[in-house]
Amino acid sequence: MNLKGKKILLGVSGSIAAYKSALLVRLLVKAEAEVRVVMSQSAKEFITPLTLSTLSKNPVLLSFTKSETGEWNNHVELGLWADLMIIAPATAKTLSKCATGHCDDLLTAIYFSARCPVYFAPAMDVDMFRHPSTQQNMRQLVAYGNFFVYPEHGELASGLIGDGRLAEPENIIKVLDSHFAKQPSAVSKRVLITAGPTVEPIDPVRFISNRSSGKMGYAMAEAFAAAGAQVTLVSGPTHLKAFNANISTVHVETAHQMFEAAEDHFGESDLVIFAAAVADYAPRVVAEQKIKKQGDSMSLDLAKTTDIAGTLGPGKRNGQLIIGFALETENELAHAHDKLVRKNFDYIVLNSLNDPGAGFAHDTNKITVIDKNNNVQQFDLKSKDEVARDILNLVLAQWNEA
């Protein structure tokens, strides 16, 4: 493993998920990393320093001085010692302090002194994680050059189900090990992703659209950017924002605007993922003024929009990969395979609305991937972040074979 001989500083803040830090330390030591642990005072309420010191084979650091001797725990020295720092679990409070410069304990003092890469692995309840202030703090930390191991979807301590569950230690280890690879796995690649719905105006106040949230496309953008790729994300209207500095977002509204943006970046991209839910039809004429209600019925004259994937796919160059998405309600495999062939895809990702928890608006997805050789691979229901990593791994395997 790439972690062998690396100096890892693990910060543990006060979350029920702190119990997982014991396994994380054990896995780091098993990978032959040198581990030192610093805990916030509240973290002691969830796991004992004795446990982590025993597993790490180093004293756990709790405060600026060692109470028995008065000796100083030099936070500057500790920040310079580490090859990598990770705070896992990172609570909403810890994220806020690190994002806003609030340094009031040894853990935050070391963070502000660290010259090494710093990762945060958040853990909190779903509504805390989704709160705009938490999301803003995460964006700010990414802007500062920090990295995230994003939380996973599952049952939380509150009994709710959603995003906010600390990533499993095994998954954290994979991220950290990948960090120390000679270079990120997709560092030389350019990736184009379309995401979200399109909005086709009827008049100044009404439009035709669909239920797409854009979550799947944004999750894939984050996954490929974290792997080192330069990502262009062409996004229809959505409340989502991209975190990673490797993501350049192009905001569009209509199908025509999305086609133009995708066409601009198609030729330069090593990988194109058509994940947007593009309107098939749009009003032929857009009223300049609000249409007044008249009579018992109303008819709209609709014109077919440009088939973005169908238009660009046949122009695929050698070595370029294209992935499409298909949302189906019946004869799913047959319809998806037909779309794969017609649009010259290398892979198509099938979602079925017959699968609970899959499709639009959900935080989860259940996919089936079909490749151009008609190989079919089915995946379990997972968070969209995990699904994005599954798709990333499929692509990386393809690139490694080339």
Q: Is 46 annotated as a binding residue?
A: no
Structure tokens at 201: 């105006």
Number of continuous H segments (helices) and E segments (strands) in the chain: 13, 21
Q: What span, in angstroms and rounded, lies between the C-alpha atoms of 198 and 254?
A: 5
CA dihedral 73, 84, 94, 13 (to 10 degrees): -70
Give me the helices (H) in 67-122, please: 75-81, 92-100, 106-113
Q: Is 280 annotated as a binding residue?
A: yes
Query: With 0-12 CB in 10 A as exposed, 13-18 as middle and 19+ as buried, what is 71?
Result: exposed
Q: Is 290 annotated as a binding residue?
A: yes
Question: 246 an active-site residue?
Answer: no
Q: What span, in angstroms and rounded, lies between the C-alpha atoms of 369 and 374?
A: 9
Angle between helices 20-30 and 49-56 (to 10 degrees): 10
Q: What span, in angstroms and rounded, lies between the C-alpha atoms of 384 and 161?
A: 14
Q: Is 129 annotated as a binding residue?
A: no
The angle subtended at Cα 259 by Cα 391 and Cα 230, nearest 5°, is 45
Q: Is 203 annotated as a binding residue?
A: no
Tell me the residue ranges of DSSP E strands in 109-242: 118-122, 147-148, 152-155, 161-165, 190-195, 200-201, 207-208, 230-235
Decide: 167 and 149 in contact? Cβ < 8 Å.
yes
Give the active site residue among 2, 73, 210, 344: 210
Q: Which amino acid, 135?
A: Q
Structure tokens at 373: 């050789």
Q: What is the distance in angstroms between the CA of the first residue and the CA of the last residue of the chain?
A: 24
Structure tokens at 211: 């239920």
- Helix, strand and coil percent figures for the chain, each rounded to 5: 35, 25, 40
Q: Give φ, ψ of 34 to 5 degrees.
A: -95, 125
Q: Which residues are annotated as a binding site?
A: 280, 290, 325, 339, 343
Active site residues: 210
Q: Which residues are annotated as a binding site for CTP?
A: 280, 290, 325, 339, 343
